[in-house]
């Protein structure tokens, strides 16, 4: 797949399922990360990687933290390397910030409180703390793109809290 054209991979993704989508996501992501491609081509490859990633939710029962984390990390990398684009929500730091906050089920205070005695928690709660840590891995970079205000403050608090999580 790494030698396929954008159109070939896009056609494949439309009917792919499960592991095929993961393979396609990785192939498209590799092309998006290839600095020898022009900027717009890299954005197109990144969009294709996002499509494959988001299609994985079609087979999932409920939201997947892994799919969200892959989404957030790719979007952040494109914003960092190719610049933000306020006309496209995938490349908008504000949209990424909103999507990140929407994916979190705990507050930073709740997560920090649970993290204090995480070794004594049931496995489900430890898993939830790990998901929160993974879902906030891009925040250090993202915060720098945001104007001062409540969203930036919330993400800054999460960025400080994530170091406490297992």
pLDDT of residue 61: 53
Taking the alpha carbons at both ends of the chain, their separation in whole angstroms is 36
pTM score of the predicted model? 0.91
pLDDT of residue 59: 67
**CB neighbours of 17 closer than 8 A, spacing ≥ 6?**
58, 59
Please write the tens of the pLDDT for every residue from 34-93: 999 999 999 999 999 999 999 988 766 555 888 999 999 999 999 999 999 989 999 999
pLDDT at 3 over 90: no
- CA dihedral angle for residue 42, residue 12, residue 90, residue 98, rounded to 10 degrees: -140
pLDDT of residue 64: 84
**CB neighbours of 22 closer than 8 A, spacing ≥ 6?**
52, 56
pLDDT at 146 over 80: yes
pLDDT of residue 10: 94
DSSP letters spanning 126-158? HHHHHHHHHHTTTHHHHHTTSPSSHHHHHHHHH
For residue 78, the SS3 value is helix
Please write the tens of the pLDDT for every residue from 89-135: 999 999 999 999 999 999 999 999 999 999 999 999 999 999 999 99
pLDDT of residue 60: 63
CB 21 within 8 A of CB 50: no
pLDDT of residue 148: 97
């Amino acid at each position: 797949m790494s030698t396929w054209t954008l159109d070939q991979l896009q056609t494949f993704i439309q009917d792919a399922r499960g592991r095929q989508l993961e393979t396609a996501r990785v192939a498209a992501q590799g092309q998006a990360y290839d600095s020898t491609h022009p900027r717009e081509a890299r954005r197109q490859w990144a969009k294709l990687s996002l499509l494959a990633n988001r299609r994985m939710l079609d087979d999932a029962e409920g939201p997947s933290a892994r799919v969200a984390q892959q989404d957030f990390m790719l979007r952040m990398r494109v914003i960092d390397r190719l610049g933000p684009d306020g006309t496209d929500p995938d490349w908008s730091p504000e949209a990424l910030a909103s999507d990140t906050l929407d994916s979190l089920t705990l507050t930073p205070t709740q997560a920090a409180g649970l993290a204090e005695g995480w070794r004594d928690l049931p496995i489900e709660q430890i898993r939830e703390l790990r998901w929160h840590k993974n879902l906030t891995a891009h925040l250090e970079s993202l915060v720098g793109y945001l104007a001062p205000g409540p969203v930036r403050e919330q993400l800054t608090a999460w960025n400080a809290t994530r170091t406490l999580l297992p």
